[in-house]
Structure 1
Amino acid sequence: MSAAKNAAHVTGEVFDESTNIAYKVGRFLGKGGFARCYELIRRDGVQPTNVAGKVIAKSSLVKRGSRDKIVQEIDIHKKLNHAHVVKLMTHFEDKDNLYIILELCESSSLMELQKRRKYVSEEEARYFMAQIVNGCSYLHNLHIIHRDLKLGNLFLNGRMHVKIGDFGLATIVQFDGERKKTLCGTPNYIAPEMLNKNGHSYEVDIWALGCILYTLLVGKPPFETQSLQDTYSRIKKNQYTIPAKIASHASVLIRSLLDPVPSRRPTVFNIAKTDFFLCGYHPASLPTSCLTMPPKFDFVNKRRSLAGDENLLQALPASSKSTRAGKPLTSVPEHRMLRTEPNDAAPAKPLPMLNIETRTDYKKELLDLLTSVIDAYPGSHVRFDALDDILEPSCRPVFWIGKWVDYSDRYGLGYQLSDESIGVLFNDGTKMVTDSAFKQLQYVEKDGKESYHMAQEHPKSLEKKYQLLRYFRSYMLENLVRAGGDMAMSEGDELQRLPVMRAWLRTRSAILLLLTNGILQANFFEDHEKVIVCPLLEAITCITGKGEMYTLKIEKMKKQGYPADLYKRLKYMRTQLQKMIDGAKGSAQSSTEFKGGSNSEAATATTANEKREPRVHH
């Protein structure tokens, strides 16, 4: 029986008899191998605690080897306690399943971030790599080799802190010089000594760090090809190219980490001493908007050395070794394992940044994506309650539109993003958005040039639009947003850069909304269903009228089918997106002027001559 068929399904509540603690089963987080992960709500205290629960059906562990691997994973992981390692809190079992309770990482992993962003800035890479090196230093100090370091196993919590997870392939070095013999890991990250069967040790993790840094900065793994054989050939030949755009200190570090000779690679304890970490701006924190949008950095005269900076790799163990593990004495054979998964300081002052409109507007990509999934529809009627095999919760959008108000007869379209930030696409084609705390303003000119201001210190030229933004915000707060006190700024929010509305189109049946990060959303009026398409993760998210959210991978939808109702909605979205594209080609007017176009379902009650009160929609 396949792993998918054997994967454990749980609902309702699970109970740990050894501690008398009950966990309410929340949303499905994802699956891999024999395990399924859920968000669990621990209910023993006054304040419920949200954790992640890895559930493994005992029926999938019939083979002795399978159970031994799980036992070894738990034995290694449960002893770990570090800020940059996912915490294993407890584990227990009942007659059907084994449950591993883990720290919840709300922001998914660096793999989803990289797929949305393609590549990150050097400052962000430095921020993430410092934490990964921290965690890896901790592991190596305990004689643990992770052996599967990759973007998909580097999780992010709600504060954008990196957590190393998945210790299924981890091993312990029993004595200095021991060389492991297992072929294991993920193809794009496997070190050459592992492929050459020369025995391996801590250096395979160093190699993986080089692959991770390269992927973050360049946008793809250094040795990636279309075939496994070619990828392995490039790894063995050390055949890769660093683009000229990559800074010299980053290139030097990448080359040292990807040295084909293991003994020449730096130890994890020496990586922090390289120029990449010592000669550049190191943000103390990052906002969650970085999951989909680049942050706003002040690059002018703000670079500073981090030598002596308290923020630099604080968590490196005081007893960090500076010497390498000894040379091999004996070889310890192990079972062959191979994972063949797909690829997976003072804050800077805000200032005007890049032209947001010069980046891809995603309309063609969205149209092609919708066409591909519509054309592949097999005609099978898969119900929403039977979508297990095509669900991909890790691909849920970071931002979507929760509320909107159409006042385009006078001013424009106001909207609220899922993080409670508020924006307006004005009739003149300019845009303004404020964070949920209403502390920072982001303004985009008609030509796409961006500027950033503290809300209370905006220029006089923006006063009228600022007051209109306040009006839209107050109107939505009073009508549909839940009541509550003012929200405080979170760490990293000073670098936050939000997506803004690029275009919208309204018909009698629905409204289409396009954000600058590529998200296309359709809100259907009759049943309040929302369909959100992400071209970067190639995923579709459905939000029902009751607020239930389902995220589906398009690749799986093509192969396994999807509900007929969703098929109809996607066809409608494609038709309206084409009209949006045609409207943009037909004139240089702003996006608010081609809503509905000339089709028979043209927008109702939105003409410029009408005088009416706005209506809030959700």
Structure 2
Amino acid sequence: MDTGCFSAAQRLSCHAMNPDLLKPCPEHGPPQPAAPRMKPNRNKTEQIKPELAPVVTDPKTGRSYSKGKLLGKGGFARCYEMTDLTSNKMYAVKVIPQSRVSKPHQRDKITNEIELHKTLSHKHVVKFSHHFEDQENIYIFLELCSRKSLAHIWKARHTLTEPEVRYYLRQIISGLKYLHNRGILHRDLKLGNFFINENMELRLGDFGLAAKLETVEMRKKTICGTPNYLAPEVLNRQGHGTESDVWSLGCVMYTLMCGNPPFETLDLKETYKCIKEVRYNLPSNLSPAAQKLISSVLQKAPANRLNLDQILGHEFFTKGFTPDKLPASSCVMVPELHPPSPAKKFFTKMAKSFFGKKKAKAEKIPCDDKDEKDLSRLVSGIVKCSISRQISYKTVGSNEVASPAGQLVSSLPLEPTPAEEESRKSVSRSFKGTMASSAEPCEDGSTPAAVAESAAKVLDTCLSAMPAATRNPPCLSRPEPFLWVTKWVDYSNKYGFGYQLSNHSIGVLFNEGTHFSLCDQRNTIHYCLTNNKHFTFQTSALPEQLHSQKQIVELMANYMEQNLMEGGDLHCEDQASSSPPPLLLQWVKTDHALVMLFNNGTLQVNFYTDHTKVILCKAADGSYLLTFISRERVSCTYLLSMLSEMGCSAELRHRLRYVVQLLQHHADA
């Protein structure tokens, strides 16, 4: 299962070295016995934390922020989702009560964290935005990582496959090298501090214990961090160096692959003893390369450990397959990962050269003829390799149950039982026979090929006439409302492709080619048996043969509602429940984008890397509207004729060229 955007969630460091907090997070295994309290509890009144106001305002700038859900909490601070009421941009905000920084050394700790974090800028480090304080709290605004952390993935999965571990470790090492090159030690590397964004990219965060690298003589001797990941030299008060972070990295690798930290015991003192003696077990099910790498990192003497470059050069990485991207489904289940064929590797390399590190520079200037030719060759290769992710006409099992976390958990085998197969045939017979008289035909020419051809033609015509420009024309102040996909979930490995429209109706295109929609607050059902037969039911009058499909649709709907964020700020008016929603004719996934074609002529393309979206639809008067949703989820709608006359920015022009190439090669595929 792959998904669009998870709802925002992050977590704070558990600061497990605090004697009052020696009950580690889920990633640390069984709870450790709490140490005796160092200080008696203060009165209960002082311990009660005041509830954060629904809206907080920066006293200096006057900008207001709406409080969202609680993302995580620790003994020192809480983290909330907050939305800037001016720009609608969302943040993860660390909220520290002023009462917790009343002493100078406490205030210095927060100040040092802020000053250090605001200097960092790296792809695999959580972005620092800004901070302010009022009389009650200090607010630190950070990048919102919507897929929680590796701790959450580990809790759901318990163990990860070696390709997944390589995928995450490469990103951790990239961020860690950046810190070390700047003379910064993290000192609290653990699963809960590796955050995952919407695009399944890892961000290293929580710099509450970070410190500048000192000489051996000046190294800090403080014991800080999380018990299961502490290096021997830290416990022996020999100080922190980059080698201590490498040790923690080895513990992270072991935990992800083996299901528990290497030195975990039920007794904290015993855990410390095992760490000092480097006493742990390597499971026999680990590959020889993985065992060798872990052993080379978990060395007692810091000087004997591999450094970060040597880790990347180890055979565990050089001889093993590392995926370029993980599906979002890997947050809750084992993904289907296959090493690419030589042809696939070639096209991936081309794609990286075109869309990779130089992308930002390429988007600042219009594409020339050479770009067009390179893009044409690139798209041709990608489409021929990847366009097969379309409707597949096979029948699969249809019963699922939802876990408390909202993910779909299979309760039946992939292949249908004879009874299920007979039930499906019965559904087909009944609707083709007795229900045919109530069917409503689709719009003329609404085949995937026709929609793709029409969209490619109007976009190509627009681009051909478009003059050079450096910016987009003014947005339409009140564009005609239209429906678009705000959330999606790819569960085609078993059932089909689900999506939510901007009027909150839910659709699922099943692998066998049928289409099921829940509309009007789930009170009305639109069912399409073939591409030219529609049926409408009230939920209470749904034929029994469709109950199993309805259950799957509801599970996908609940999953998207609980876990996924809206794809942009573009809303629409609710359509009448009596009219069928737009029918998804086809969806196609390439390495860079998701393409969706609807029977009303709407085309939507979601780009993975920066989460931008291009939506082309018809207005009531027959003209075309083009909507661009930026990476900040801010939308602008234009008349296509206006873009043709006035031109647009290089960023939008570049995406439109890519869409045209995709559609043209889609028609030829």
TM-score bucket of the superposed structures, by smaller chain: 0.5 to 0.7
Normalised by the length of structure 2, the TM-score is 0.50
Q: Offset of 1:98 from its aligned partner?
A: 0.6
1:26 matched to 2:89? The reply is: no
Question: 1:302–1:118: structure 2 CA closer, same or farther, 3 Å change rule?
Answer: farther
Query: Where in structure 2 are the equivalents of 1:309-348 lying within 5 Å?
Result: none
Q: Offset of 1:222 from its aligned partner?
A: 0.8
Give the alignment partner of residue 317 of structure 2, picking from 262, 277, 280.
277
Q: Offset of 1:236 from its aligned partner?
A: 1.1
Task: State whether residues 84 and 161 of structure 1, in contact with CA within 8 Å, keep that contact through their aligned partners in structure 2.
Answer: yes
Task: State whether residues 180 and 201 of structure 1, in contact with CA within 8 Å, keep that contact through their aligned partners in structure 2.
Answer: no
Give the alignment partner of residue 214 of structure 1, picking from 245, 254, 267.
254
Task: State whether residues 263 and 279 of structure 2, in contact with CA within 8 Å, keep that contact through their aligned partners in structure 1.
Answer: yes
Query: Where in structure 2 are the equivalents of 1:581-596 lying within 5 Å?
Result: none
Give the alignment partner of residue 470 of structure 1, picking from 495, 514, 519.
514
> Which residue pairs with 2:100 in the alignment?
60
Q: Offset of 1:399 from its aligned partner?
A: 5.3
> Which residue pairs with 2:117 in the alignment?
77
Deviations 1:194-231 (A, max 9, x none): 11222231111000000011111111111111111111
Task: State whether residues 6 and 34 of structure 1, in contact with CA within 8 Å, keep that contact through their aligned partners in structure 2.
Answer: no
Q: For 2:299, what is the secondary structure of its paired residue? A: coil
CA distance in 1, matches of 2:343, 2:317: 12
Deviations 1:412-458 (A, max 9, x none): 9xxxxx9644879xxxxx963335499xxxxxxxxxxxxxxxx9xxx
Deviations 1:100-120 (A, max 9, x none): 111101111100101101111
CA distance in 2, matches of 1:265, 1:259: 6
The gaps in structure 2 that reach 5 residues or longer are 1-41, 358-381, 390-395, 411-419, 429-485, 502-508, 526-546, 563-669
Give the alignment partner of residue 239 of structure 1, picking from 269, 279, 283.
279
Q: For 1:52, what is the secondary structure of its paired residue? A: strand
CA distance in 1, matches of 2:238, 2:524: 61
> Which residue pairs with 1:432 in the alignment?
495
Task: State whether residues 119 and 219 of structure 1, in contact with CA within 8 Å, keep that contact through their aligned partners in structure 2.
Answer: yes
CA distance in 2, matches of 1:294, 1:51: 30
Task: State whether residues 216 and 239 of structure 2, in contact with CA within 8 Å, keep that contact through their aligned partners in structure 1.
Answer: no
CA distance in 1, matches of 2:204, 2:262: 21
Normalised by the length of structure 1, the TM-score is 0.54
Greater radius of gyration (CA): 2
CA distance in 2, matches of 1:246, 1:237: 22
Deviations 1:108-162 (A, max 9, x none): 1100101101111111111100000011001101111111000011111111111
Task: State whether residues 40 and 50 of structure 1, in contact with CA within 8 Å, keep that contact through their aligned partners in structure 2.
Answer: yes
CA distance in 1, matches of 2:334, 2:401: 17
The gaps in structure 1 that reach 5 residues or longer are 316-345, 352-356, 367-394, 413-417, 425-429, 439-454, 456-464, 484-509, 524-529, 533-541, 544-618
> Which residue pairs with 2:51 in the alignment?
9
Amino acid of the structure 2 residue aligned with 1:168: G
Task: State whether residues 166 and 317 of structure 2, in contact with CA within 8 Å, keep that contact through their aligned partners in structure 1.
Answer: yes
CA distance in 2, matches of 1:8, 1:127: 41
Question: 1:265–1:302: structure 2 CA closer, same or farther, 3 Å change rule?
Answer: farther
Identity %: 36
Question: 1:102–1:60: structure 2 CA closer, same or farther, 3 Å change rule?
Answer: same
Q: For 2:518, what is the secondary structure of its paired residue? A: helix
Q: Offset of 1:58 from its aligned partner?
A: 0.6
> Which residue pairs with 1:260 in the alignment?
300
1:171 matched to 2:211? The reply is: yes
Give the alignment partner of residue 77 of structure 2, picking from 23, 35, 46.
35
Query: Where in structure 2 are the equivalents of 1:413-428 lying within 5 Å?
Result: 420-421=488-489
Q: For 2:139, what is the secondary structure of its paired residue? A: strand
Q: For 1:160, what is the secondary structure of its paired residue? A: coil
CA distance in 2, matches of 1:63, 1:249: 50
Question: 1:33–1:3: structure 2 CA closer, same or farther, 3 Å change rule?
Answer: farther
Deviations 1:217-259 (A, max 9, x none): 1111111111111111111111112112212222221111111
Task: State whether residues 210 and 254 of structure 1, in contact with CA within 8 Å, keep that contact through their aligned partners in structure 2.
Answer: yes
Question: 1:422–1:151: structure 2 CA closer, same or farther, 3 Å change rule?
Answer: closer
CA distance in 1, matches of 2:230, 2:266: 16
Deviations 1:448-487 (A, max 9, x none): xxxxxxx9xxxxxxxxx844x5233xx336884999xxxx
CA distance in 2, matches of 1:205, 1:234: 18
Question: 1:18–1:479: structure 2 CA closer, same or farther, 3 Å change rule?
Answer: closer
> Which residue pairs with 1:604 in the alignment?
none
Q: For 2:120, what is the secondary structure of its paired residue? A: coil
Amino acid of the structure 2 residue aligned with 1:234: C
* Greater percentage in helix: 2
Give the alignment partner of residue 205 of structure 1, picking from 229, 237, 245.
245
Question: 1:362–1:254: structure 2 CA closer, same or farther, 3 Å change rule?
Answer: farther
Q: For 1:34, what is the secondary structure of its paired residue? A: coil
Amino acid of the structure 2 residue aligned with 1:26: G
Amino acid of the structure 2 residue aligned with 1:54: K
CA distance in 1, matches of 2:212, 2:499: 46
Query: Where in structure 2 are the equivalents of 1:369-518 lying within 5 Å?
Result: 396-398=405-407, 420-421=488-489, 432-434=495-497, 436=499, 466-467=511-512, 470-472=514-516, 475-476=517-518, 480=522
CA distance in 2, matches of 1:270, 1:435: 43
Q: Offset of 1:17 from its aligned partner?
A: 2.7
Task: State whether residues 233 and 240 of structure 2, in contact with CA within 8 Å, keep that contact through their aligned partners in structure 1.
Answer: yes
CA distance in 2, matches of 1:258, 1:49: 42
Amino acid of the structure 1 residue aligned with 2:105: G
CA distance in 2, matches of 1:304, 1:192: 44
Q: Offset of 1:266 from its aligned partner?
A: 2.0
Task: State whether residues 12 and 25 of structure 1, in contact with CA within 8 Å, keep that contact through their aligned partners in structure 2.
Answer: yes
The size of the alignment, in residue pairs, is: 388
Q: For 1:242, what is the secondary structure of its paired residue? A: coil
CA distance in 1, matches of 2:320, 2:272: 34
Amino acid of the structure 1 residue aligned with 2:287: A
Amino acid of the structure 2 residue aligned with 1:180: K
Task: State whether residues 487 and 500 of structure 2, in contact with CA within 8 Å, keep that contact through their aligned partners in structure 1.
Answer: no
Deviations 1:20-73 (A, max 9, x none): 32211112212111211111111333xx11111111111122233322221221
CA distance in 2, matches of 1:203, 1:303: 40
CA distance in 1, matches of 2:213, 2:83: 36
> Which residue pairs with 1:112 in the alignment?
152
Question: 1:74–1:127: structure 2 CA closer, same or farther, 3 Å change rule?
Answer: same
1:94 matched to 2:137? The reply is: no
CA distance in 2, matches of 1:191, 1:213: 14
CA distance in 2, matches of 1:98, 1:482: 48
CA distance in 2, matches of 1:149, 1:399: 31
CA distance in 1, matches of 2:317, 2:238: 32
CA distance in 2, matches of 1:128, 1:33: 28
Task: State whether residues 401 and 409 of structure 2, in contact with CA within 8 Å, keep that contact through their aligned partners in structure 1.
Answer: no
Q: For 1:18, what is the secondary structure of its paired residue? A: coil
> Which residue pairs with 2:176 in the alignment?
136
Q: Offset of 1:181 from its aligned partner?
A: 0.3
Task: State whether residues 92 and 99 of structure 1, in contact with CA within 8 Å, keep that contact through their aligned partners in structure 2.
Answer: yes
CA distance in 1, matches of 2:224, 2:211: 11
Amino acid of the structure 1 residue aligned with 2:112: Q
CA distance in 2, matches of 1:213, 1:69: 29
> Which residue pairs with 1:292 in the alignment?
332
> Which residue pairs with 1:230 in the alignment?
270
Q: For 2:330, what is the secondary structure of its paired residue? A: helix
Question: 1:30–1:23: structure 2 CA closer, same or farther, 3 Å change rule?
Answer: same
Task: State whether residues 120 and 127 of structure 2, in contact with CA within 8 Å, keep that contact through their aligned partners in structure 1.
Answer: yes
